[in-house]
Amino acid sequence: MKDQITALIEALRLVEAEVEQFKRRRQSRGDTLEAIEAILNDPKVSGAIRTLEPVIEGPRLVPEQSEATTHVG
């Protein structure tokens, strides 16, 4: 699992660098989106997403409350 997390962190770093290039007007929106798409389509990144997706719970609509706060006495 460590390799998958490392791949995702590196992909996030690369995406952040592409967005920064766009913000500084060093590349166009289209070029930025193409670069981000290429990062996400990298086999290591897409494989990491598929591997970790079942392990990570999605966000809940209503946060869980601890047992202490649910029993009002």
User: In this predicted structure, what is the pLDDT of residue 52?
Assistant: 82
In whole angstroms, what is the distance from residue 36 CA to residue 14 CA? 8
Are the C-beta atoms of 11 and 39 separated by less than 8 Å?
yes
Rg value, the chain, Cα: 19
Listed residue (52, 41, 53) closest to 15, CA to CA: 41
Say if residue 50 is exposed, middle or buried (CB neighbours under 10 Å; 0-12, 13-18, 19+).
exposed
> Locate tokens 């981000």: which residue?
36
Question: pLDDT, tens digit, for every residue of 3-60?
Answer: 999 999 999 999 999 999 999 999 999 999 999 999 999 999 999 988 887 766 666 6
